[in-house]
Structures are given as C-alpha cells and as structure tokens.
Structure 1
Amino acid sequence: MSDKFTPHPRSTELLAAGIPAEYHSLLGHHGVGTLVEKMGIVFTHMSVEKMVATMPVDGNTQVTGLLHGGAHVVLAETLGSFAAAFHAGPRAKVVGIEINATHHRGISAGLVTGTAVPVHLGRTLATHEVVMTNEAGQRLSTCRITNMILAS
C-alpha cells in the first residue's frame, strides 16, 4: 500500500473555487460546475451554520451595467445547494425545488458576497436564506432556496 496522497480528480477545479481539500470528497463528486467557474464564484467559508462565497460584478452585468438579477440568483442557488449538500453528507444528492429573490439595491462594480444560513435542516428538505451584500456590507438582495435531499 502506498503512502502517497492521491488528489481528488477535480482538485484543481475545487481549489480554484475556494473549496478546502478536506471537503473535496464531500462536495466534489460533480465538481463546482461550469456556471460557477464562468461567474467567478469563490467560496470563503464552509460550515453547516454558514456558507459564504464571493462573485465579481465585472462580467456578470446586464445591459445597463448593473449586476444581473439572475447573477444574484446563481450565487444564491450555488450557496444554498452546496450548503444543503454539506448538511446532507456524501451519500445524499440534493436538488433545488424552489428559489425566490428580492432585489434591494443595484451594484455596478466590485465584489458581491453571498451568505447562506439555514432556515430549516431536515432529513428530506433543507431551506436556506441567502443574503448578498456589497463591499460596504449593504444588502443587495435576499433569496430563499429549498433543496430536496435524496438518498443515493
């Protein structure tokens, strides 16, 4: 038996998205996905109690120069889904079944931070509130996402 560490097959992708190596076996089965890469989403904190990631405004704007409303939702769904998977564990699969968003303030430059906190963590459902803020800490949008937890 070899003492050498065999890296996760998606380690490069996962590390680029800010996912620590100790979580690769838990969250890395499918990687982070191409949309997360395209949007520039990077995780900065991962726990059952709170999941945090950032996303640049640059490259994710609508024609008027503001961060696209759909970009807010992509960040929220990414955080909520990863948070639900974190809660559910490596043997479960999570699928989004509902998401909603309220946009409070526009942003045209800088970095957006999304923070997901659990509203409900059950055996078959996980619901998270995700708040997006600008670099000054002002609330940009609030989303709620519910994921169904499926046995593998």
Structure 2
Amino acid sequence: MELLLPLNLPPYAFKISDESGQLMLFDIIRKKNIVITPEEWVRQHFVQYLINQKKYPKTLIKLEGGHKLNGMAKRSDIVIYNPAGEKILLVECKAPSVTIDQKTFDQIAHYNIVHKVKTLAVTNGLQHYYCNIDFDKGAYNFIEELPAYK
C-alpha cells in the first residue's frame, strides 16, 4: 500500500485520524483534516521539509492554489511567497509511484507560464529535482539543493 510509505524526506509526527474508515491528516497550512492520498502524503511531507529544514514561514505557503491556464482551471500543489506577496517557489508533487519524467517537468513549466516563478521543485517524495529559471534567456538550470528561506 502506497499510503504512509516512508519517503526520502525526514519523518514528521503528523496528526492522523480515522474518520469512517478514511485516513485523515491534519493539514497545518489549510488548518483542517484532509484525506490522505499518496500525492497528499508527499505534499504534507514536503511542506514540513520546507518549514522545518528550509525555514520557510508557514504563513507564506499556499497549497492547491487555483489558477487558469488556457482558460482551464488548474491547481498548483505548493506556492511559496515572499513577504511582499511575490511568488518565489513553485512545487509540483506526485505520488511515490509516479516517475518524474519530461511530462512532469512539462506540467510545472506550463503552470509557471501563469506563475512566473524563478525556482521550481518537482518531487514524488523519493526523488526531488530543483531548477532556477532565467526568463531573460528562456533557459533553466538544475540545482543540487533547494535554497533555504532568506
């Protein structure tokens, strides 16, 4: 079962409950219980990683923010803002069973047409990829480590 699998992220003490046979996890960003799916398990771990290891303030993190792309409603997994309200990091989360491939990068690149964020992250909880976007040159370069909050 893919739910609650150990990930390539530090373990966290989540508040998990069983509501009518459905495993729920308390989301500290949205401040409510949410159904644990494999992708949500990755998202919640990555949020904790951002807060605890990379020191991003939880008040600057937005989960599943809606946006329109080519007239279609889409949702970004994690968007991080700076105190001025500018987007500084866009994260796409996938279930651990999903291979991170070109299609995954194409998805976040398409979302970034709307967001115009300089740093992107893609994770399935087991593998994590980070890159910086150079909008002037229309290029990107992969980086080893996600920058800590400044």
| Superposition TM-score, scaled by structure 2 size | 0.29
| Superposition TM-score, scaled by structure 1 size | 0.28
User: Relative contact order (C-alpha < 8 Å, sep 6+): which is higher?
Assistant: 1
